[in-house]
């Protein structure tokens, strides 16, 4: 897993090549809505892209994480199917429903049933390299989402320049990123991590939580500011020395959100001394987001070492899938 985390900038680089070289079957057209359907490591890219297009996309952008699709999906919808293995049963079910509803379907996968169905139906299907855990392939899937949106004229291609800058930033700063991650991992060790971010970076916070779950084998939760200021903040009433608050921060976070974070820190300090701030680097959304993703991915695998667990194994998920297959 460490090797996969280390190779994240190279994965982004390869993902750009895959996206630029893909030739779409479907022509550009107008849509009333966009739905990305996918779960876990395959679906988190949709949540992060949703944050990115929040204030630019002219149609609703929904991330679907289940078997069913929203009732509004129809022939005027773009449905992007994301399943790294191609065999995620929830995503396959949603894909079949999208096709029944005559939506324009574009798939991102390494193979499996999704690729087979797409090939049979002559539907767009962008293939990414196979043989890795889905959570280690975020770069491949996320970048393809951007190329899909650009092909249909929903966003421009400025993301390519920003991602290239991000790749250089991550490569140049790799040693510093690993050092910072090691410090954070040691501070979190033995505690329950609580991850907070600005609302525009909630997808990145979810990604960190999921990596703590899968790589570190650790329970965690996340919240977004300002939403958590209207409910969860009231829950901070008891001594919580066994908890560690991690604030994912960006210098370009909305000004009032930054003010809220400073006030929140004062409240957290009444209940726990374990408060960690991780600031992103870079000028664009993608530079900031990929910096935080890469650093916190390192935190999750280094924390796995401290906990003496295998960052790669997911036996409990394998058990769940095996049990479902018998029903």
The one catalytic residue in 3, 230, 266, 315 is 230
Which helix (H) or strand (E) element contains residue 244? strand 243-249
Active site residue 76: no
| Residues forming a β-bridge with 305 | none
- Could you count the other beta carbons within 10 Å of the beta carbon of residue 9? 21
Q: Which token pair is 314?
A: 């997911």
Active site residue 321: yes
Looking at the chain, list the stretches that DSSP marks H as alpha helix, in order from N- to C-terminal side: 2-6, 8-21, 40-53, 89-100, 112-121, 138-151, 158-172, 174-188, 202-214, 255-268, 285-307, 315-325
Active site residue 89: no
How many residues comprise the chain?
327
The one catalytic residue in 202, 214, 281, 287 is 214
Nearest to 303, CA basis, from 189, 221, 175: 189
List of residues 6+ apart from 71 with CB closer than 8 A: none
Which residues are designated catalytic?
Answer: 214, 230, 321
């Amino acid at each position: 897993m460490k090797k996969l985390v280390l190779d994240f900038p190279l994965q982004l680089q390869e993902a750009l090549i895959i996206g630029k070289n893909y030739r779409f079957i479907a022509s550009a057209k107008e849509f009333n809505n966009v739905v990305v359907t996918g779960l876990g490591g395959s679906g988190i890219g949709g949540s992060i892209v949703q944050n990115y297009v929040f204030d630019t996309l002219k149609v609703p952008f929904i991330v679907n994480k289940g078997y069913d699709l929203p009732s509004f999906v129809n022939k005027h919808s773009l449905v992007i199917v994301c399943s790294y293995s191609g065999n995620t049963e929830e995503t396959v079910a949603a894909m079949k429903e999208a096709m029944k509803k005559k939506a324009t379907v574009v798939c991102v996968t390494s193979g499996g049933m999704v690729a087979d169905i797409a090939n049979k139906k002559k539907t767009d299907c962008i293939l990414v390299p196979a043989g890795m855990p889905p959570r280690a392939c975020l770069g491949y899937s996320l970048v393809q989402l951007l190329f899909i949106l650009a092909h249909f004229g929903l966003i421009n291609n400025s993301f390519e320049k920003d991602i290239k800058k991000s790749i250089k930033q991550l490569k140049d700063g790799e040693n510093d990123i690993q050092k910072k991650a090691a410090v954070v991992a040691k501070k979190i060790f033995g505690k329950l991590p609580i991850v907070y971010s600005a609302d525009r970076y909630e997808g990145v916070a979810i990604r960190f939580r999921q990596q703590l779950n899968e790589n570190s084998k650790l329970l965690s939760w996340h919240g977004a500011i300002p939403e958590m200021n209207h409910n969860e903040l009231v829950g901070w009433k008891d001594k919580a020395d066994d908890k560690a608050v991690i604030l994912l921060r960006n210098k370009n976070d909305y000004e009032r959100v930054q003010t809220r974070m400073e006030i929140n820190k004062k409240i957290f300090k009444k209940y726990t001394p374990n408060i960690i701030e991780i600031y992103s680097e870079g000028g664009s959304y993608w530079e900031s987001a990929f910096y935080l993703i890469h650093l916190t991915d390192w935190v999750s695998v280094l924390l796995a070492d401290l906990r003496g667990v295998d960052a790669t194994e997911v036996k409990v998920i394998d058990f769940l899938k095996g049990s479902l297959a018998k029903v």
